[in-house]
Structure 1
């Protein structure tokens, strides 16, 4: 696949902006948006560009970090709790537990909500500047939440998702959350790709047809048995064949036991053996895989909304919940 200069520049610029790390990390969110952009149909890409303000140049990679930059604004104070999901009793690596909370304020319900808003505004175009702004916000939150839900520590309540889990990163003090948010990605780009984020991105896309080829074909398949239950989004789950946040959160939570929290030790240097394990062949390049998986699924959902097959019937309504 070809990458435009603006796409490559967006990733490079993100490397310069990591002095302050939010959420999944500016770079992590930028990369998920980059991957998604490459899998959008031309029609979906056109409509995404119309929804986003001109500042974003139609690029999901530029819009993805936005929800972390506005956390301090009173208007968006409600959104902070939607970046993660916690389950009481979750205690990795001894026990990993995810349970859906009916209409809860978490990233699972946030994704259902934002997807519903995008779909509703596809059925009925926004009529006022305020509605256009709400639609743009929904797209930016959707893209961001798709990144968050694929970062395993956003599906773990232990020590505030690892934010309070002190750890060593070389000679520096860090936290398990920050290591997964950004430090492993940056080190991987530096060590294997000579500080070239575009090469890192190229490699991820290439692995969808090589290393991950067999499993990647299933990334956009939503298993109904793992994504149903008593929830206010039943209509939404029936509309989309690729929207499965309950299943995704559950699988990320399982990774907290098998990889993320395994043998946790605050005195251990996480930039050595631990890093090699979760970024290398032993784990099928897990860190890159989660970024890529997020982007592929993001694009699939957006394509379902904005460029569905002509034979697909469109229902008259969908549940729509404004914040």
Structure 2
């Protein structure tokens, strides 16, 4: 069932299907935009100019693969030195590299830098882009695991084609779920996730805040990032790796049953990533706002139309 207005569907299907997609990062950022309060959205928009929230969401991957940005590659994950599938756990002092840092220390550092007005604007903008990206990465189970480089060394078959397990969880499952990886797929997915959250799939508003908002304190960013990573990491033991690993995975075709079981996990983790991202950004950027602004969030249609505008060159609200 399509949840977007008919005119918006027509516009979205006219958009180019860009092969680099980054479906998950675009979706989490688009979903976060649906829960941003006006003051935070305005400050984020000002800091990100001339780019947008959705474009900023994929910047960190491109930057880490560039010669000048290679130093940041280790910030995208934490290498949990646990024993999956028997035991999964995050130990920050043990698992975060003392030399290059990790996703936990990066979230802490760049959360502070993005709102530090004594830092140059360009550096604050880069920090915000990292925060947006890392708050999605920390919800991907294999970004929280050391085993064979977070699953990059676990070779599997996906519909008969060789892939590593990390890439399957990074993109292949989500792209199969959504039928593609273009911006229109991201907008549609974000819209559906928003409606699932607001419709109570994971509990009512109070329950979601209690479950997903247990740690949203800017005074303890390390603790919060570890809490988020622990939730993702537990899925490595609970589902990502079969109990008979390595016999159950290495070099074998991932079954349709494995894919079907992963759908709910990917959907929930994506919803949680976008929702938490919004709450974190609201806390970061609301204190910098002028007083007296209305505290309201744009409607689904208003947000979706603004997201289409960017790709047609009409401007962008976030």
Cα separation, 1, equivalents of 2:24 and 2:31: 11
Cα offsets for 1:51-108 (capped at 9, x unmatched): 0131x2xx321111101112233432221111000133x2211221210127841001
- Alignment match, 1:82: 75
In the TM superposition, 1:299-314 aligns within 5 A as: 299-308=278-287
- Alignment match, 1:17: 19
- Alignment match, 2:219: 237
How much has 1:252 moved relative to structure 2? Answer: 1.2
* SS, match of residue 39 in structure 1: coil
Cα offsets for 1:124-164 (capped at 9, x unmatched): 5x5xxxx1110000000000111110100000000100011
- Alignment match, 2:315: none
RMSD, aligned α-carbons? 3.2
Cα separation, 2, equivalents of 1:94 and 1:210: 33
- Alignment match, 1:48: 44
Is 2:226 the counterpart of 1:246? yes
Name the CA shift for 1:219/1:118 in 2 (closer, same or farther; >3 Å).
farther
Aligned length: 272
1:107 to 103, 109, 116: 103
2:131 to 125, 135, 142: 142
Alpha carbons 1:34, 1:60 under 8 Å: kept: yes
Name the CA shift for 1:73/1:197 in 2 (closer, same or farther; >3 Å).
closer
In the TM superposition, 1:262-273 aligns within 5 A as: 262-263=242-243, 264-270=248-254, 272-273=256-257
* SS, match of residue 167 in structure 1: strand
Cα separation, 1, equivalents of 2:131 and 2:232: 18
**TM-score, with structure 2 as normaliser:** 0.76
Gapped runs of 5+ residues in structure 2?
Answer: 292-318
Q: Which has the higher contact order (CA 8 A, sep 6+)?
A: 2
How much has 1:296 moved relative to structure 2? Answer: 0.8
How much has 1:276 moved relative to structure 2? Answer: 0.4
**TM-score, with structure 1 as normaliser:** 0.75
Alpha carbons 1:32, 1:292 under 8 Å: kept: yes
In the TM superposition, 1:191-270 aligns within 5 A as: 196-208=185-197, 209-214=199-204, 215-223=207-215, 236-238=218-220, 244-263=224-243, 264-270=248-254
2:116 to 83, 100, 120: 120
Gapped runs of 5+ residues in structure 1?
Answer: 19-24, 228-235, 280-284, 311-323
Cα separation, 2, equivalents of 1:2 and 1:243: 38
